[in-house]
Amino acid sequence: MTFTDTLLFLRAWLRDPSMIGAVAPSGAALARLITRDVDPRNGPVIELGPGTGVFTQTLLDRGVPAHRLALIEADPTFANTLTQRFPATRVLNMDAAHLGLSEPLFGSERAGAVVSGLPLLSMPRDKALAIVEGLFSRQLRKDGTFHQFTYGPRCPLPPDELSELGLEATHMGSALLNLPPASVYRFRRRTSISMAI
């Protein structure tokens, strides 16, 4: 985490604390954990709320080709920074809530995974649910996975919401040395019996 990135983050947080949801970029351990399960062979990848690009760099390091990585960032300053840092990726300065209304980003080839740094817990519930619903209905393959971190003590989608969305959740682990400590969950379409979290 560089001083420049911390400053960028702090400025963005001062502009809109609830949209940014953190005062500093995520650390390397959280980046490794949230991208651990992403297999570039399963299709293109969408990242939501990349900020300064900590997860983006780790996804590229894991072998996701830049042209098969779409970055969805609502903050225009972060979007500009991402365009400069990762010119071969597709950076879209937009609200992730619109993904459920837009055409699939990679055409007929749906994404194999979505990695999200969105502050789901600080959004209105309707909006958070619409984002997740939109990903599964418009952007992800049938067996595609959604990877989300949270600073909260439990799954960011409670059992009733998981059931409403037809999803199951798996706790992938925690990055206790992250500031603040964070946990990662993986969501996929429910196949048989749902798991209670």
Ligand X SMILES: C[S@@+](CC[C@H](N)C(=O)[O-])C[C@H]1O[C@@H](n2cnc3c(N)ncnc32)[C@H](O)[C@@H]1O
Q: Per CB under 6 A, which of residues 67..106 are in contact with ligand X?
A: 72-75, 78, 95-97
Q: Is 20 in the site for ligand X (CB under 6 A)?
A: yes
Instruction: Give the residue among 145, 133, 147 at the shortest CA–CA distance from 49.
Output: 147
Look up residue 68 and give its two tokens: 């098969």
Q: For ligand X, give the closer residue by CB, 48 or 168.
A: 48
Q: For ligand X, give the closer residue by CB, 31 or 169.
A: 31
Q: Is 51 in the site for ligand X (CB under 6 A)?
A: yes
Q: What is the DSSP letter of 159?
A: H
Q: For ligand X, give the closer residue by CB, 116 or 168.
A: 116
Binding mask 121-150 for ligand X (x = CB under 6 A): ------------------------------
Helical segments of the chain, H only: 3-15, 17-20, 28-35, 54-61, 76-85, 125-134, 159-165
54-83 CB burial, b ≥16 within 10 A, e <16? bbbbbbbeeebeeebbbbbbbbeebbebbe
Q: Nearest approach, Cβ of 111 to ligand X (angstroms)?
A: 16
Q: For ligand X, give the closer residue by CB, 118 or 157.
A: 118
